[in-house]
Amino acid sequence: MKTKLLAVATIFLRIIGFSQVDYYGPESFGEILDNSFSQTWTPSAVASIDNKKYVVILDQATKSNVIALNSSAIETIDVISLTDITRGTYGSMMRSIFQLVDENTHQENDAGGGSGTYTPLSGLYKANPIMHSYFSLNSTSSFGLNSTDGGTFYVSSATNTGYLLLEFTGTASSTAIKAVEQWTYNTTSGANEENTAWTDKYLMLNGSTLSWTTAIGSATNFYLADATDLLDMEIAAGSEFNPLSVAYQPNATAEIPSGIKSMEDSKIINLSTDLDESYHDQLGNSITATTAAMTVVDAIETTLISEGASLRYPKEFYLAVRENMLSHTIQSSDIYNGIVGKNTIEHVYFTNASDDAGVPHPFMVIAAHAVSTRPNLLVDVNRPPGAEMGVGYAQSSVTRNGKLGDFIIKIPLKDYGLTSTLLDNDLSPYGDLASEYDAKHNSTTTKSVYNYVALASIGVAVDGVTIYPAQNNNLRFAVEDAEVTSSGIHVGGGLELHYHSDGHAYNGNGINLYNIADFTGKNHPPAIGMAYDGIALFGKYESSFASMLGYGTALDEFGGHDHDGFGYHYHAHTQSVTSSVSPNPVFDEHILLVGAWKGNINNIPAFDYSKSNQLKEDDAISRYAGVSYATLGVKELLNNDNTALIYPSPTKDKITIEVLTPFDITITNSQGAIVRSFKASAGANTISLEGCSNGIYFIEGVANNNRFIKKMIVKK
C-alpha cells in the first residue's frame, strides 16, 4: 500500500513541476562511424618505428595521399586524400589508421620468468587496420595491395588469407615499405605458413594505384604519421589508466581455446526452442518484437500494481533501454568469432513469472554476446590478466584475444527496495571479493563498496558487455595494474570482454561506450547500462552540461542518487583516490560501477545466474529467464489467501488442509485432471496422496461465499 501511495505521489510531483529525465541510450559505434569528424591535423611522423605504433601511412612527397580501407569492403585498400580524414567521418578517419605489430608480439615470454622461451621482437611488422585487428596488409595474386584475414575463426573459409611481414628501411619521415615474407593460411594444417615463392617487394604508389614491385628504384617513399594525434587511444605511463607506470609485460599470448563455435551457432541466438511460447514474439529486433515487448511490460505493470508492488522505473524507460541495446552491431573484426554487422545483443525480452507462492518476479532478460562493437586494442594492454594456468604471472600466458560470450542476463523490474547499510545485501551464497582475498592471504580486510562485491560481473552495459567492479581480485583498481584498454575494457581468463572503468572519462575520444556527443539536447546523461540489482546506470555528469537534471545532487558512496522523481540510479563518476601501492600516487579513478549494490538483492529469485546454462536449470530458476513452468492461472485467488493452510509442500505422500469452515475440495494435476474430490470439515484434514506422481497440483476449495486455490508440489 505504501508503495502505491509513493507511486501516486511521484506522479503528483511530476505534475507540479518536476521534470522527467530523458530516456535514451548512447549512439552505437556504427552510427558514430557515419558522423562527421573534423579536425585540424598536420601529419607529424611517429618518433620511431616501433611495435604497436598507430600510424597513418601517407606518401612522403605530397603528404596528401593516404592508404585506407575501403568503406564497405574489408579487403579492399583505397587511396584517399588527407581531407577525407580531417573533413570526413569518424569512419574514414579510423579506416586510415594501421597498427604496426611485430611478428613476435604474441610469442614473447618473460625473460626473467625463468621457465619460458624468450622470443625477442624481430623488427618485422604486420600492418593491421585498427578497424579489423585480425586483418593485415597483404598482396593480391597480381601484387596489388589488399587486406586479408590473418586468423579469425572464419579464416578457413576465406578466399584471401594471411599477411605480409614488412620492413621499414628509412625513418618515419621517409621510408620504403619492403615486404620480406608472405604468410598464408593453410586449411590442412590449420596454421599460417610461409609462401616460399615470395621474394622481396616494395610498395609503390602510382597515381591512385598501390602495388608491390621487385624494382627497388620504383619504391615509393612513405611518411608514417602519428595517428594518436587524430584519435587518442594510448595509455601513457603515469596517466589515470596506468598511475603506477606498470611496464608492458612481454608474456606470450594465451592460445584461443578449442571448441569455439561460430557466431551463428551461438547458444543465445536460437532461444525460441528453450523459451515459453508466450515470449517468442518478443525475440529479435523488429517492430513486431517491440510491440510484443510493450504489451508484456503493460501486463507486468498491471500485475505488480494489483500486488501492491511497482516497477522500479517507468515502463517507457525499460523500453528505451531495450531499443538502444538492440541498436549495437559489431563494426570491427576484433573478436575471434565475431561477425561484422551482427548484433552484440540478440534479444531483450520481458518475463513475468511468479514464484511458487504466486508472487510475481518480472525481469528484463538480455541475451548478449558480451562483445563490444569497436576495436578493443587488447594487444596494447600493459599487464593483461593471466590465462589462469595455476602458475605465477611471470610464467603465465596472458589474455590478448577476445571471443563471444553467451550471457542471459536478468535485470529485475520490480522495485525490491534499497539497502540501508553496505552489509544488508547477503552475498554469502555468491562470495565476495574481500572474503575471497582474505581467505587467500590470511588477512582481514575492512568491507567497503569496492570489495564487498560479487566475484564476477555486477551489471551489463547497453552494448552487451558485462561490467565488473572497479577493483580486481587483488583489491586494487584495475587501472593500478594497467590491465585495461583505453576504453576501460579487457578480457579475463575466459577471454570474454568486460568493463572495469569508464573509458569516456579517461580520454573522451568519441568512440567509447558513451560520448560527449550523446549529451547534446538532453536533460540527463545517457543510460549506459543496468546493474544486476535492477538499478540503472547513467553516464557521468559533464561540467559543460551543468544544467542537466540532478547535476547538483551529490552521489552517495555507491555512485547513486535520486532526483526528479525518477528513482534511485547510478552514474559513472570520477573519484580522486590514493593507490595502496608504493609510491602511492593520488589519481582520478574513472568508475562505471563501484562494485557494491545499493539495490536490495536478497529477495530477487535466481539471482546468481547470468549465462545461458540457466535455461537448463530447474524451473525454480529457468522460469525467470522465460522457460515454461506450471502456473496457477487464477493467480489472484492464490495470493494473500488466508482461508486455508496447506502443508507440507513439497510433500511425499500426504497433505494437510486446514480450514476454519467446511469447504468442497478438488485437487487437480497440472493437466487439469481431478485426482481427489472430497468435503473438508472445519479443522485439519489430512489426505493420502497415494498414486499421485511427482508434479504440481492445484487444491481448490469452494464454500458458499468463499473460494481458494492453492498450489501443492508432490516430490517423492
Of 212-220, 228-236, 400-408, 465-473, the window that binds Zn ion (rule: CB under 5 A) is 465-473
- Cβ atoms of 298 and 315 within 8 Å: the answer is yes
Q: Which is nearer to Zn ion, 210 or 593 (CB)?
A: 593
Integer Cα distance of 180 and 428 in angstroms: 59
* Bond into 650 cis (ω within 30): yes
Least spacing, CB of residue 323 vs Zn ion, in Å? 20
3-class secondary structure, 615: helix
Compute the least distance from the CB of residue 472 to Zn ion, in Å: 6
Instruction: Using the minimum distance from each CB to Zn ion, give the nearer residue, 163 or 568.
Output: 568
Residue pair 540/571 in contact by the 8 Å Cβ criterion: yes
- Residue 455 vs 703, nearer CB to Zn ion: 455
- Spatial CA neighbour of 617 closest among 410, 471, 475: 410
284/550 with CB nearer Zn ion: 550
CB closer to Zn ion out of 25 and 492: 492
Q: Shortest distance, CB of residue 280 to Zn ion, whole angstroms?
A: 35
Smallest gap from residue 235 Cβ to Zn ion (A): 16
Specify the residue, 366 or 497, whose C-beta has the smaller distance to Zn ion.
Answer: 497
Q: Taking contact as CB under 5 A, which single stretch among the options 75-83, 199-207, 213-221, 466-474 is the one that binds Zn ion?
A: 466-474
Nearer to Zn ion, 29 or 468 (CB): 468
Residue-level length of the chain: 716
List of long-range contacts for 454-457, beta carbons under 8 Å, 24+ apart: 454/427, 454/430, 454/532, 454/608, 455/430, 455/431, 456/610, 457/498, 457/532, 457/610
Binding mask 206-235 for Zn ion (x = CB under 5 A): ------------------------------
Q: Which residues pair with 157 in a beta bridge?
A: none
Q: Is 392 helix (H, G, I), strand (E, B) or coil?
A: coil
CA 367 to chain CA mean position, Å: 11
Residues 530-569 that bind Zn ion (CB under 5 A): 550
Q: How far is the CB of 236 from Zn ion (least distance, A)?
A: 22
526 binds Zn ion (CB under 5 A): no
| Residues binding Zn ion: number (CB under 5 A) | 3
d(CA 551, CA 536) in angstroms, rounded, equals: 17
Smallest distance from Zn ion to CB 563, Å: 6
Q: Smallest distance, Å, CB 15 to Zn ion? A: 21
3-class secondary-structure state, position 303: helix
- At residue 321, the 3 state secondary structure works out as helix
Residues 6 or more apart whose Cβ sits within 8 Å of residue 526: 24, 25, 26, 514, 518, 519, 538, 539
Instruction: Report in angstroms how near the CB of residue 588 gets to Zn ion at its nearest.
Output: 20
Does residue 105 contact residue 52 with C-beta atoms inside 8 Å? Answer: yes
Q: What are phi and psi of 551, to 5 degrees?
A: -55, -40
Three-state SS annotation for 689-704 = CCCCCCEEEEEEEEEC
CA dist 260 and 539 (Å) reads 34
Nearest residue (beta carbon) to Zn ion:
550
H/E element, 30 = helix 29-34
Query: Based on CB atoms, which residue is closest to Zn ion, 457 or 515?
Result: 457
Burial of 141 (0-12, 13-18, 19+ CB in 10 A): exposed
| 492 is a contact residue toward Zn ion (CB under 5 A) | yes
How far apart are CB 464 and Zn ion at their closest, in Å? 16
Q: How far is the CB of 65 from Zn ion (least distance, A)?
A: 42
Q: Which is nearer to Zn ion, 88 or 492 (CB)?
A: 492
Residue among 492 and 534 whose Cβ is closer to Zn ion: 492
Binding site for Zn ion (CB under 5 A): 468, 492, 550
